[in-house]
Amino acid sequence: MSRAVVLLSGGLDSTTTLAVARRDGHTPYAMTFRYGQRHAIEVDAARRVAGAAKVADHVIVDIDLRTFGGSALTGNANIPKDRSAESMSSGVPITYVPARNTIFLSFALAWAEVLDAGDIYIGVNALDYSGYPDCRPEFIAAYQRMADLATRAGVEGKGPHIRSPLIDMTKAEIIRLGQSLGVDYSLTTSCYDPDSHGRACGRCDSCKLRLKGFSEAGVSDPIRYVGDGP
Amino acid sequence: MSRAVVLLSGGLDSTTTLAVARRDGHTPYAMTFRYGQRHAIEVDAARRVAGAAKVADHVIVDIDLRTFGGSALTGNANIPKDRSAESMSSGVPITYVPARNTIFLSFALAWAEVLDAGDIYIGVNALDYSGYPDCRPEFIAAYQRMADLATRAGVEGKGPHIRSPLIDMTKAEIIRLGQSLGVDYSLTTSCYDPDSHGRACGRCDSCKLRLKGFSEAGVSDPIRYVGDGP
């Protein structure tokens, strides 16, 4: 079994991606970042998911992206609520974190080199996150070309494969794929702005995309939302 | 004056690079990493250099690359001493840190986006560090293409310019350039394995390259070495 580094946020997409890495025959090594995000409950979800998936190792990397600011996810700006699907996809949302996926992939590249892992999995999605520049196929392709030169193996023009299996899928398709692979979505969290009990707000862009996906997949979302009771 | 992010380790190359960014007409913003390196004295040198250069801002980013291991610079392996120039340049040295420049540039990319800086300066050198995959021109070129897609500006295929002004220069040429720009090399440090007084060992690859450079430039190195007295 070959090793794969899997970027795991504890959300729906990365949890499904972890199951895909397993399906593809890899031994998964999960990597999670505590980066000053408001929704730090993500890290707890990532721990639960990594435990349930029995990954070979799980590292939590502390990097404080608040040093730079520039995002509603790490700063004090309000998280947008109740936006329409149209306004979500126009322009770059204020929840975009500068160069986040570039930074995450770079740490994954370092760990892959040390582990001698041939694959890095990232759950980026270009359909639902069309406004995030670092979720696009052309970004991933350019990252691959850079990664092919960046490490020891790069002396011979080789690097780990950057895998983004969800990049062209709708949220409903991702949920159906996860269900077919036995993913337990009750362990995951997606909300940008959960309450103090860890319940999802149901109104931020991320919640709305998630709920729409479950609805279209004809599956009920097993996590708790504000208003569901304590 | 346009802003530029300058990666500043406190060594000879990055200190010269900072002076080049200033010469090129930029307002410099310095970024230094505390990454678990054995030679943490670097960070003090970076502070002195940034202070002397009156940079607009200086951030020190904590990232613990020891989480992954894989390098003599962050682990317990012995730093090689008294190696010949030939053995230094064959293969990838054990002082190589996995994906270090990829990670550093990715943080610089994030900060450049927040600052709206059009340039990122990095003091990589392909001649003296031919064994480091992430010091080669082809790596920097591939990083540029990725950076052109990674950020908000990347939606239109634009990113900050990645500048590596020293990439083709010898150490002696770098020192002469720095002298012409008024760089005070007494503030810098290069040693991989300084003693507890901060004196350079004079015998690791980095010291040997530095001493050879000063010798070839016909300039005396102003820093203290072990044996120079207390």
Segment A16-20 shows an average pLDDT of 98
Chain B CB contacts of A107 below 8 Å: 99, 103
What pLDDT does A28 receive? 98
Quote the tokens at residue A124: 């980026």
The model's pLDDT over B117-127, given as tens digits with 9 standing for 90+, comes to 999 999 999 88
Among A61, A65, A154, select the one facing B110 at the smallest CB separation: A65
**pLDDT, chain A, mean:** 89
Closest CA relative to residue B49, chosen from B28, B67, B34, B65: B28
> pLDDT: is B87 or B226 the higher one?
B226
pLDDT of residue B130: 64
Taking alpha carbons only, the member of A10, A8, A63, A68 closest to residue A39 is A10
> Taking CB atoms and an 8 Å limit, are B145 and A150 in contact across chains?
no
Give me the pLDDT at residue B202, please.
94
Residue A162 lies in a domain: yes
Average pLDDT over residues B85-103: 77
Lowest mean pLDDT among A17-31, A63-77, B111-125: A63-77
- Whether residue B100 is contained in a domain is answered as yes
pLDDT greater at residue A36 or residue B115: B115
Model pLDDT, residue A86? 61
Any domain includes A225: no
Look at residue A213 and tell me whether its pLDDT is greater than 80.
yes
Nearest to A210 by CA among A181, A175, A169: A175
* pLDDT above 90 for B40: no
A179 vs A136: CA distance, rounded Å: 25
Using alpha carbons, list the distances in angstroms from residue B161 to A8, B105, B153. Answer: 31, 11, 12
Minimum-distance CB partner of B65 among A69, A99, A110: A110
Task: Give B 121-160 residues with CB within 8 A of chain A.
Answer: 133-134, 136, 138-139, 142-143, 145-152, 154-155
A100-115 and B100-115 helices cross at what angle (nearest 10)?
A: 170
More confident residue, A69 or A113: A113
Is B61 part of the contact surface with chain A (CB cutoff 8 Å)?
A: yes
In a domain, residue A136? The reply is yes
What is the biggest distance separating any 2 CA atoms in chain B, rounded to whole angstroms?
58
Residues counted in chain B? 230
Q: How far apart are CA A13 and CA A163, in angstroms?
A: 13
Per-residue pLDDT band at B87 (split at 50, 70, 90): low
Q: For chain A, what percent of residues have pLDDT higher than 90?
A: 63
Q: Do B151 and A139 touch (CB under 8 A)?
A: no
Give the pLDDT confidence of B42-51 residue by residue, as tens digits.
Answer: 899 999 999 9
d(CA A172, CA A58): 28
Q: What is the CATH number of the domain that holds B130?
A: 3.40.50.620
Closest to B179 in 3D by CA, of B127, B214, B211, B225:
B214
pLDDT of residue A183: 97
Q: For residue B191, what are its two tokens?
A: 């040693």
> Which secondary structure element, helix H or strand E, spans residue A112, and what is its range?
helix A100-115
Nearest to residue A108, comparing CAs of A31, A9, A36?
A31
Q: Which residue has the tokens 């054990």?
A: B94
For residue B29, count other CB atoms closer than 10 A to its CB: 24
Q: ipTM of this predicted complex?
A: 0.90
Q: What number of H helices and E strands is found in chain B? A: 7, 5
Residue A64 lies in a domain: yes
Q: Is residue B230, in this structure, part of any structural domain at all?
A: no
Q: Give the pLDDT band (50/70/90) at residue A85.
A: low
State which residues form the domain around B107: 2-217
Measured between CB atoms, which of A92, A139, A150 is closest to B133? A150
Residue of A nearest to B149 (CA): A139
Closest Cα in chain B, distance from residue A223 (Å): 32
Q: Please indicate whether, in this complex, the C-beta atoms of A68 and B111 are within 8 angstroms of each other.
A: yes
Q: How many CB atoms lie within 10 A of CB A24?
A: 14
Count of structural domains within chain A:
1
Residue A222 lies in a domain: no
Shortest Cα–Cα distance, B137 to chain A (Å): 10
Query: How far is it, in rounded angstroms, from Cα A174 to Cα A164?
Result: 12
> Would you say B26 and B59 are in contact if contact means Cβ atoms under 8 Å apart?
no
- Residue A45 in any domain: the answer is yes
3-state SS class at A218:
coil
- Which of A190-199, B51-60, B123-132: highest mean pLDDT? B51-60
**Dihedral sign computed on CA atoms, order B113, B114, B118, B120:** negative
Best of A94, A143, A146 to disrupt the B interface (most B CBs within 10 Å) is A146
> pLDDT at position A129, please?
66
pLDDT tens figures, A110-165 = 999 999 999 999 999 988 766 788 999 999 999 999 999 998 887 787 899 999 99
Please tell me the predicted confidence (pLDDT) of residue B129.
66
Number of Cβ within a 10 Å radius of residue A76: 8
Please give the pLDDT value at position A192. 86
Written as six digits, the tokens of A35 are 């980066």
